[in-house]
Amino acid sequence: MKNNRILIFDTTLRDGEQCPGASMNLREKLEVARQLARLKVDVIEAGFPVISDGDFTAVQTIAKEIKGPIIAGLARCVPKDIDAAGEAVKPAGKKGRIHVFLATSKIHREFKLGKAQDEIVRLAVRGVEQAKKYVDDVEFSPEDGSRTEPEFLVRVCKEVIAAGATTINIPDTVGWAVPGEFGELISHLYSEVPEFQSGKAIISVHCHNDLGLAVANSLAAVQAGARQVECTVNGIGERAGNASLEEVVMAMKTRADVYKGFKCGVNTKEIVKSSRLVSRMSGLTVQRSKAIVGENAFAHSSGIHQDGILKKRETYEIVDPEDVGWGQTELPLTKHSGRAAVNARLKHLGFKMTDTDVQAIFARFKEIGDKKKFVYDDDLLTLVEGHITEVPETWSLEYVQVTTGNQAIPTATVRLVKAGKKKSEKAETMEDAGIGDGPVDAALKAIDRLTTTHGVLKDYNIRAVSQGKDALGEVTVKVDFGDGDLVTGKGAGTDVIVASAKAYLNAVNRFMSSESRKGKAKMQP
């Protein structure tokens, strides 16, 4: 097998964003895309253009602004889907890709589509031919490929390659496969389809983690002939998620003795930064024990382990933390630091900010600087990400005051400002109080009364952003406002009650914005 280059196809912004509560706005998606470019992934699947105006705009904007990776848009084998994807990726020029998919497994043919094999092949070929009118780079996915009859899968591969597809992605859509079986399937396709051997087309894999085997299946596929792996940062995605990008990449790098000759272009030193950015933008916390990027990934509490590490790192660490971006923070800023110093640090951290952005972030930096001795990089990242995650504010928080204690009824008084519907209309200030099981609950109930919404808090997470007793607290909430979709809200501050109120109000504003209320398609390869 001559080609040992493994392409990394990142679908964080498409499949990853389909995880409940992980919806990102345009600015958030653009920052993630910029970081993925710095990570040097080969392909960014930027979204599913046909499902909403928001998704179309996101894919189109990323195609315009992001240089380096191929920019892909997803589409069913449906003319309107392919037209939307073609228009969305057009600004990427030769770096544009359309990724079309159609279910091929027996269970999907019979119960979802109600179509015979011949009809499936006809639709797949027609979809690829239409996509080919927009771009040279067409990828085809036989959805539920791991449960499709192998000989029918061979037939589909041959037909769509003849129609112009250059990448054939074999999805383990429901996480059904196990490594040995999946490797055999990929090996069978490689041996039976001459175009894979000649290099006219390559095999890709897209594995889900329902049985916790997504990474193992992806690696088995690589050994069997796959040359593209579809994955997400932190492994986020539908249900149990996708193959984790950082685990796939570092497994191949660390065990080069097993994956001999395979090369991957990912800049591994950007992995931790990418993980943190995606976590904050999506509102999905990384578990502490997560491989490579979890906070405990390189923590050693056992005395025996600590002794071994001190004598020789490799005794208990198979990956050098610095290779994936773990390391010392820069010297912290203080309240005396000027705008130029803050702007320079933002550039160092990889953010592209306008003068208006820097002005807004600097104002928040000063507020934080007055309350704590040092402002660390993680504090600054939180301020930046808070600015990025802002949505049009129907409601803004003026103040919150609480009374609580083990012998008092927790009570919160909240004052909000309601923006006028038109620029000419004056903002309205409103105040109310609420009681609850605790100060946070009381504050949220007061916000519900003022905004006339009723959100059910489904998840509440708080973490200290940096070190010290004066650490900035970052609160992430997931709220159900009655339509079944989880809306993520984020807030930060040195006071966790205020940060909680900000996070909840952020969720309220997201719910009220038209973009956040548009449904997301649940179809994926």
Q: Which two tokens stand for residue 27?
A: 């600015």
Residue 94 pLDDT greater than 90, yes or no = yes
313 pLDDT band (50/70/90 cuts)?
low
Higher confidence at residue 387 or residue 63?
A: 63
Higher confidence at residue 486 or residue 402?
A: 402
7-282 topology per CATH: TIM Barrel (3.20.20)
Domain ranges of the chain: 7-282, 298-328, 339-388, 395-517
The pLDDT of residue 124: 98
Lowest mean pLDDT among 42-46, 198-202, 217-221, 518-522: 518-522
CA terminus-to-terminus distance, the chain: 27
329 pLDDT band (50/70/90 cuts)?
low
Rounded Cα distance, 297 and 309, in Å: 14
Rounded Cα distance, 240 and 238, in Å: 6
Q: For the chain, how big is the Rg over CA atoms in Å? A: 25
Q: What's the pLDDT tens digit per position in 121-152?
A: 999 999 999 999 999 999 999 999 999 999 99
Average pLDDT score over residue span 57-62: 98
The pTM of the full predicted model, rounded to 2 decimals, is 0.85
Residue 285 pLDDT greater than 60, yes or no = yes
Average pLDDT score over residue span 219-227: 98
The pLDDT of residue 302: 47
Average pLDDT score over residue span 311-321: 77
Residue 520 pLDDT greater than 50, yes or no = no
Q: Under CATH, domain 395-517 is a member of which superfamily?
A: Alpha-isopropylmalate synthase LeuA, regulatory domain (3.30.160.270)
Residue 494 pLDDT greater than 50, yes or no = yes
Q: Share the mean pLDDT of the chain.
A: 90
Where are the strands (E) in 386-468, listed by range? 395-403, 411-418, 428-435, 456-464
Residue 309 pLDDT greater than 70, yes or no = no
Q: Which of 185-194, 337-346, 396-405 has the highest mean pLDDT?
A: 185-194
Average pLDDT score over residue span 197-225: 98
SS3 at position 460: strand
Rounded Cα distance, 262 and 450, in Å: 59
The pLDDT of residue 346: 87
Annotate 373-400 with b (16+ C-beta within 10 A) or e (fewer). Answer: eebbbbbbbbbbbbbbbbbebbbebeeb
